[in-house]
Chains A and B, each alone.
Chain A
Amino acid sequence: MARVKVKTFSNIRAVIGAEVVEVEVKKPETVGELFETLYRKYGRALKDQIWDKNTGEIAPFLIKLNERIIRSTYDLDTPIRDGDEIAIIFPVGGG
């Protein structure tokens, strides 16, 4: 089991209710399992923000794992370790 800190912003933070939450991820200790854990903890409201309703797939975005940037599209099987910090970086293009 790995305890990781998850940092979120704007609409995802509005659902989670805090800037940083600590989450316990059971095996397999991967980024993908972390998102499943978050879904179980925060339910439908979070799923609507992270999974695409129209495709059923996790939306494409970047993830900061400690100081490394990885991708939700390809890197969900990246292992996570106790004490890791993750930030969800949703795509924005600006106006």
Chain B
Amino acid sequence: MAGKFKHGGYIGQLLRVDLTRERVRKEPLKEEWAQDFVGGAGLSARILYEEIPAKAEPLGPENAMTIMTGPLIGTIIPTASRSCVCSKSPYTKSFFHSIFGGYLGAELKFAGYDGVIIRGKARKPSYIWIDDENVEIRDASHIWGKDSFRAQKTLRKEIRDEEIHIATIGNAGEKGAPYAMVLCDMRASGRGGMGAVMGSKLLKAVAVRGTGSVTVPDKEKVLEVAHRLNHILKTTPAVQGLSQFGTPRGVLALNEAGILPTRNWQTEVFENAKRLSAETMRERVVKGDRACFACSVNCTKYSVVPSGSYKSVINGVDYETIYALGSCCGVDSIEALCKADEICDEYGIDIISAGISVSWAMECYEKGILTKKGTDGIDLKFGDADAMLHTLEKIGRLEGFGALLAKGTRAASEIVGKGSARFAIQNKGMEFPGHTCRPLLGAAVGYATGPRGASHHDIRPTGEKMGLVDRKNPEGKGAYAAEINHWLILCDSMLLCHLPETIWGPIKISQNVIDALNAVTGWSLGYEEARRTAERQWNMIRCFSAREGFTREDDQLPWRFTEEPIPEGPMKGSVVPKPVLERMKDDYYQYRGWDKKTGNPTKEKLKELGLDFAVKDVC
């Protein structure tokens, strides 16, 4: 197929796997869908809107999933290293794209596919082996029950190729835990329960070997853009710390600013932050730096705890681990966090949701809502690393008290009651990442309206942290959040990493993004056309949610964020009062041309974006 497709960078071919019928088929990628939705999250949303019937049970065979790349993947455009697993989420009950880094996406392109659509349910545990044009659904009974790493090791040995790239699920995915993740080599497609969707299909793994290449219309042009972007990456101050310190580079700075969420967000200042800093991590556990495909940033840190009860080997820890399982649980041992990271990977559970579920339980325990009887005897105090690790293991095994926490804080608080929903730090069922919005009103409306619930990849707090806008003034924050949505979704359709965000955004689509897309595809989009593409993608995702019954009532923040001001530090007193949030939501829907009453797209907006087919479902 390569070379025949109208647009550069694409293979022009999708792989369709029907697990129920045990059939594999190659099919052409629609050129107009590539043009309108690009790839990754945008293209998956369009495909899955067709593939998944409304109100489908996320863990039923009628749900479908994709593993999707984009036109830039497999080229030398720096940070175009991501790919995504997409489906209807068992956690948030709507469309979800869960991005991962590493090499699997590029390998899939080299094997000859822009993406894989997976449908149905296998009769027995299975894995998909993609070896260039040869694709097989194979028996995975011998690896069902194995943890993610052991399953990968077994497949590499069995296939006799150490360099294949593999996406696997662990025990949590096999058992349908709604925030189970997919581990792609050592990188996580962490959020939204994509591992549970795989598990429901009895799909243990997808292994890929590709020996082909990606064709672009003008190699010189791509080389020139890649060279320029690499230079910018190397010389932009906000990106430089990533190479040396990775994502934890900001732990101390965030704490200094009074925005490091601590003890389940009861405060945002952690007294022992130094023990979890990037500097401490570098000194005590980091053994090397690693990079994803085609990335010059090298932000991944390879860490080893050589002995003792926290013995572990991981890629990380990343900032979100430090936040969710560190400061939010009051835990101050970097070695314990390495072990926690390894446990999450082995069992295949999302670190953020698991960590915040543990911190929620710790607060319940502190308040006497949960006692030792309810925690299977664990003395679940904030700051107890071993209690945190023990609880994580139980979550991974869905055992006893762990089975409750494996449901996440929304469901668990409904079961436990006694006011515990007030400190379930979630939106649309998904727990918050470690980036506050109480002092950042633009981030607040972005989180509330985010289609994936509390995702820091549907909104970024960075523009406000850079001082580019007045973080305290609600005026105009609807428009501000919408334009951040746009650069994020466009990057998620191109699969550019968000981390060097100051060069892709940070508050609207930057020319760098458009240059990269045009160079690879041969398109000549201007800003308005690129923005329109992003707007179409965002509306497509909102249509998926609207068809599932979501409205503005679902666009909320946790009780704590609207009612409890930050109690100390430089951001003391910060809170997002409900009336202010509702006003910003009005502003957001109006800016988008959506119906303020429902919070969903109007007929006029859908027609304007070429999404006429969704009018019957949404309006």
Q: How far is the CA of A61 from the CA of B563 in the complex (A)?
A: 28
Residue A89 lies at the interface, judged by CB distance under 8 Å to chain B: yes
Closest to A88 in B: B253
* Chain B residues closer than 8 Å to A75, beta-carbon distance: 467
Nearest CB of A to B440, in Å: 11
* Chain A residues closer than 8 Å to B245, beta-carbon distance: 10-11
Listed stretches B29-37, B175-183, B232-240, B554-562; interface member: B232-240
Closest to A52 in B: B237
Cβ contact within 8 Å between B249 and A62: no
Cβ contact within 8 Å between A89 and B249: no
Nearest CB of B to A4, in Å: 15
Listed stretches B219-227, B371-379, B457-465; interface member: B457-465
* Chain B residues closer than 8 Å to A12, beta-carbon distance: 241
Which parts of B202-250 form the interface with A (CB within 8 Å)? 232, 235-238, 240-241, 244-245, 247, 249-250
Nearest CB of A to B289, in Å: 14
Cβ contact within 8 Å between A10 and B279: yes
Which parts of A74-93 form the interface with B (CB within 8 Å)? 74-75, 87-93
Which parts of A32-65 form the interface with B (CB within 8 Å)? 48-54, 59-62, 64
Closest to A12 in B: B241
Which parts of B560-599 form the interface with A (CB within 8 Å)? 569-571
Nearest CB of A to B269, in Å: 12
* Chain A residues closer than 8 Å to B501, beta-carbon distance: 93
Residue A69 lies at the interface, judged by CB distance under 8 Å to chain B: yes
Partner of A9, one of B237, B256, B435, B467: B256
Partner of A73, one of B256, B320, B435, B466: B466
Q: How far is the CA of A71 from the CA of B467 in the complex (A)?
A: 5
Most buried by B among A10, A13, A67: A10
Closest to A69 in B: B570
Residue B90 lies at the interface, judged by CB distance under 8 Å to chain A: no
* Chain B residues closer than 8 Å to A53, beta-carbon distance: 235-236
Cβ contact within 8 Å between B318 and A89: no
Cβ contact within 8 Å between A54 and B237: no
Residue B456 lies at the interface, judged by CB distance under 8 Å to chain A: yes
Nearest CB of A to B135, in Å: 32
Cβ contact within 8 Å between B240 and A95: no
Q: How far is the CA of A88 from the CA of B462 in the complex (A)?
A: 15
* Chain B residues closer than 8 Å to A61, beta-carbon distance: 238, 465-467
Cβ contact within 8 Å between A62 and B467: yes
Chain B interface residue count, CB cutoff 8 Å, equals: 44
Residue A94 lies at the interface, judged by CB distance under 8 Å to chain B: yes
Nearest CB of B to A57, in Å: 11
Cβ contact within 8 Å between A93 and B498: yes
Residue B252 lies at the interface, judged by CB distance under 8 Å to chain A: yes
* Chain B residues closer than 8 Å to A62, beta-carbon distance: 257, 465-467
Cβ contact within 8 Å between B232 and A95: no
Nearest CB of B to A78, in Å: 12
Cβ contact within 8 Å between B570 and A67: yes
Nearest CB of A to B362, in Å: 22
Cβ contact within 8 Å between A50 and B235: no
Partner of A59, one of B232, B238, B254: B238
Nearest CB of B to A1, in Å: 26
Cβ contact within 8 Å between A11 and B240: yes
Cβ contact within 8 Å between A64 and B256: yes
Q: How far is the CA of A49 from the CA of B279 in the complex (A)?
A: 17
Residue B193 lies at the interface, judged by CB distance under 8 Å to chain A: no
Given contacts A90-B253, A93-B460, A94-B433, contact A11 B244 (CB under 8 A): yes
Residue B266 lies at the interface, judged by CB distance under 8 Å to chain A: no
Nearest CB of A to B221, in Å: 21
* Chain A residues closer than 8 Å to B238, beta-carbon distance: 59, 61, 90-91
Cβ contact within 8 Å between B241 and A11: yes
Given contacts A10-B253, A53-B235, A59-B237, contact A91 B570 (CB under 8 A): no
Most buried by A among B236, B460, B467, B501: B467
* Chain B residues closer than 8 Å to A54, beta-carbon distance: 232, 235-236
Cβ contact within 8 Å between B237 and A89: no
Q: How far is the CA of A75 from the CA of B235 in the complex (A)?
A: 24
Nearest CB of B to A20, in Å: 11
Cβ contact within 8 Å between A9 and B462: no
Interface string of B74-96 (1 = CB under 8 A from A): 00000000000000000000000
Most buried by A among B237, B250, B256: B237
Residue B416 lies at the interface, judged by CB distance under 8 Å to chain A: no
Q: How far is the CA of A52 from the CA of B252 in the complex (A)?
A: 22
Closest to A71 in B: B467
Q: How far is the CA of A69 from the CA of B278 in the complex (A)?
A: 23
Cβ contact within 8 Å between A94 and B467: no
Residue A72 lies at the interface, judged by CB distance under 8 Å to chain B: yes
Q: How far is the CA of A90 from the CA of B465 in the complex (A)?
A: 8
Closest to A59 in B: B237
Residue B319 lies at the interface, judged by CB distance under 8 Å to chain A: yes
* Chain A residues closer than 8 Å to B256, beta-carbon distance: 7, 9, 64, 87, 89
Q: How far is the CA of A9 from the CA of B240 in the complex (A)?
A: 13
* Chain A residues closer than 8 Å to B411, beta-carbon distance: none
* Chain A residues closer than 8 Å to B462, beta-carbon distance: 91-93
Cβ contact within 8 Å between B252 and A93: no
Partner of A51, one of B237, B277, B433: B237
Instruction: Give me the 10 closest cross-chain CB pairs, A-B, nearest first.
Output: A71-B467, A92-B250, A60-B466, A11-B241, A95-B247, A10-B249, A53-B235, A91-B465, A59-B237, A93-B462
Interface, chain B (partner A; CB < 8 A): 232, 235-238, 240-241, 244-245, 247, 249-250, 252-254, 256-257, 277-279, 299, 318-320, 323, 433-435, 456, 460-462, 465-468, 498-499, 501-502, 506, 569-571
Can you sample 13 A-B contacts with CB below 8 Å? Answer: A9-B256, A9-B277, A10-B241, A10-B245, A10-B250, A10-B253, A11-B244, A49-B237, A62-B467, A72-B467, A90-B237, A92-B462, A93-B456
Interface, chain A (partner B; CB < 8 A): 7, 9-14, 48-54, 59-62, 64, 67-75, 87-95
A-B contacts besides A51-B237, A94-B323, 15 pairs, CB < 8 Å: A9-B252, A9-B253, A9-B277, A52-B237, A54-B232, A59-B238, A59-B466, A87-B256, A90-B249, A91-B238, A92-B250, A93-B462, A94-B456, A95-B299, A95-B320
